[in-house]
Amino acid sequence: MRAPPQAAADVTSVSVLLGIAWLLQLLDGITAVQMMQARGIASELNPLVQTMFLHSGIVGVAAVKAAVAGPLGVLFSRLARRGQVRLARLGLVAAGGLGLIGCISNLITR
C-alpha cells in the first residue's frame, strides 16, 4: 500500500531538513576547530567543545557533534513517522539555526 501524497511530501521535507541541519552542525564543528587552532581554545564559547578539543583534538569535537546531532536526528525522524511532522520540522529548523549561528560566530570571531 502506498503512502498518501501528503505523507510522502512530509517525509521528504523532514529528510531534507535533517540533511541541512546535519550539514550546518558539521560546518559549525569544522569552523570551531579552525577558530580554536587559529585563535586559541578560549575563543570557543562551548565548554564541552573546548574540553574535547583540548583532550582529543579534532576527533573529540567530531565525537561531540555526532553524539548530539545523531540522536536528535533519530528523534526528529521518529516524531515525523509518528505523525508529529510539524514538531519534527520545528526541531530540525532550530537545530539547523543553531548550527548556522555557531558557524557564523566562529567565522567572525576575532
pLDDT given for residue 5 in this prediction: 63
For residue range 33-67, what is the model confidence (pLDDT) as tens digits?
999 999 999 999 999 999 999 999 999 999 998 99
For residue range 72-86, what is the model confidence (pLDDT) as tens digits?
999 999 999 999 999
Q: Can you tell me which residue has the cell 526528529?
A: 76
pLDDT given for residue 109 in this prediction: 78
pTM of the entire predicted model: 0.85
Q: Is the pLDDT of residue 104 over 60?
A: yes
CA distances from 42 to 5, 48, 96, 106 (A): 50, 12, 24, 12
For the chain, the domains span 16-108
